[in-house]
Amino acid sequence: MNAMHQYLFDTYRAAQHGERMPPLPGTHDVATYRALRDRRRFRAVLAGRPARGRLRAALRRALRTALTRRHHPKAC
């Protein structure tokens, strides 16, 4: 059963009991992602890590390391 099937069951059940209709699937996805991002940033600040740019900085370090190794091979 996917989200749309569950939504249809919930809608039918709500109509039978005279309750409010449930929100469409995906209605609150953006708000959920924002809340998750904010929580991760907050926890990073509490842990003493930078709250923003961690992924970009990690990719930059990995790229710099890869380029350094390629241009300066170890002497045998």
User: Cβ distance 22 to 7 under 8 Å?
Assistant: yes
Phi and psi, residue 33, nearest 5°: -65, -40
Domain membership flag for residue 50: yes
Query: Residue 72: its pLDDT value, please?
Result: 65
76 inside domain = no
pLDDT at 15: 96
Residue 24 inside a domain? The answer is yes
Tokens for 75, please give them: 């002497």
Note down the domain range covering 26.
3-71
The reported pLDDT for the residue numbered 53 is: 82
Residue 56 lies in a domain: yes
In a domain, 8, yes or no: yes
pTM for the model: 0.51
| Residue 39, helix vs strand vs coil | helix
Number of domains in the chain: 1
Give the C-alpha separation, 9 to 3, whole Å.
10
Residue by residue, pLDDT tens for the chain (76 residues) are 888 899 999 999 999 999 999 988 888 999 999 999 999 999 989 999 887 887 888 889 999 988 887 766 665 5
Sign of dihedral through CA atoms 68, 71, 75, 76?
Answer: positive
